[in-house]
């Protein structure tokens, strides 16, 4: 089976490459090699490689910057998806990564895959627009995997930011009224590969690690594990704050926990508790 991966340099893209199952012929392209906003380039490269499956891990993900760069965000997250759809043939399967930010956060229970989206930000709106392209044009053999709060050992993300600040600051203030689920990029990559291997699985899937917390809770667990594994030498106070105490250009959902039960059943796979997945990544950092 021949797989074309976009966004090869991203957190997920790197893990997809590292965890590729035996027998997969993987063509991994960075955004420098494949610019999704360039329709002609997408046509040429996709038709040259003729993949059986496209994993679209490329995206504009700068949530706050998107508020002032809406054109660029939609060019990548909506029109880039359309360019991929137009370049593939009727037999090519598309697996597209989306986000919890398509929801408004007004729910008090985990969002099922058929919940009605209502994004609050330009980023969320652009990602929803990309989803809609797929659903309208290749719904019978496309797969949308929504995820949330992605982090990994090897890229700039919340985990790395917190570890750095915990080594350089006397105290931290972290938002405690946004609830969601941290997700290890490695765990998501395993789910993506399982979806690749199950052609009968299509439509919308939800994948994060198990459980839920706040950014404050996530930060506290990062510090606990960082101290346990020797990445941090001293404990610093972490103070919970409200979203209103830390204003950002983009509005974020206050609650964006995703219901994953239908996905677990479809893939025959369960996610780790988020604390266990985080411990694995921090242990990797400590060993390196």
Just list the catalytic residues. Answer: 123
The burial of 237, by beta-carbon neighbours within 10 Å (0-12 exposed, 13-18 middle, 19 or more buried), is given as exposed
| 87 close to 42: Cβ distance less than 8 angstroms | yes
Pairing of β 179-180 and β 213-214 = antiparallel
Q: What are 205's two structure tokens?
A: 């899937």
Distance separating alpha carbons of residues 51 and 49, to the nearest angstrom: 6
**257-282 b/e (C-beta count within 10 Å ≥ 16 → b):** bbebeebbebbebebbebbebbbebb
Question: CB-side exposure of 209: number of CA atoms within 13 Å?
Answer: 26
């Amino acid at each position: 089976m021949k797989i074309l991966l976009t966004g090869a340099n991203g957190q997920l893209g790197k893990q997809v490459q590292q965890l590729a199952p035996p027998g997969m012929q993987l063509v991994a392209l960075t955004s420098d090699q494949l610019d999704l906003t360039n329709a002609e380039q997408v046509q040429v490269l996709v038709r040259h490689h003729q993949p059986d499956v496209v994993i679209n891990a490329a995206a504009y993900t700068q949530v706050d910057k998107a508020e002032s760069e809406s054109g660029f965000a939609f060019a990548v997250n909506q029109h880039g998806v359309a360019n991929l759809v137009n370049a593939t043939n009727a037999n090519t399967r598309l697996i597209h990564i989306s986000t919890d930010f398509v929801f408004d956060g007004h729910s008090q229970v985990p969002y099922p895959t058929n919940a009605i989206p209502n994004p609050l930000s330009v980023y969320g709106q652009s990602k929803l627009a990309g989803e809609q392209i797929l659903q309208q044009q290749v719904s019978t053999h496309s797969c949308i995997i929504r995820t949330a709060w992605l982090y990994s050992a090897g890229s700039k993300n919340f985990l790395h930011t917190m570890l750095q600040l915990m080594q350089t600051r006397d105290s931290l203030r972290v938002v405690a009224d946004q609830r969601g689920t941290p997700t290890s990029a490695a765990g998501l990559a395993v789910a993506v590969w399982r979806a690749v291997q199950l052609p009968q699985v299509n439509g919308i899937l939800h994948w994060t690690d198990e459980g839920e917390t706040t950014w404050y809770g996530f930060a506290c667990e990062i510090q606990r594990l960082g101290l346990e594994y020797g990445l941090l030498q001293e404990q610093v106070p972490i103070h919970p704050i409200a979203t209103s105490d830390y204003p950002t250009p983009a509005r974020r959902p206050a609650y964006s926990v995703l219901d994953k039960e239908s996905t677990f059943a479809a893939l025959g796979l369960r996610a780790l508790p988020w604390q266990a997945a985080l411990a694995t990544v921090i242990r990797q950092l400590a060993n390196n």
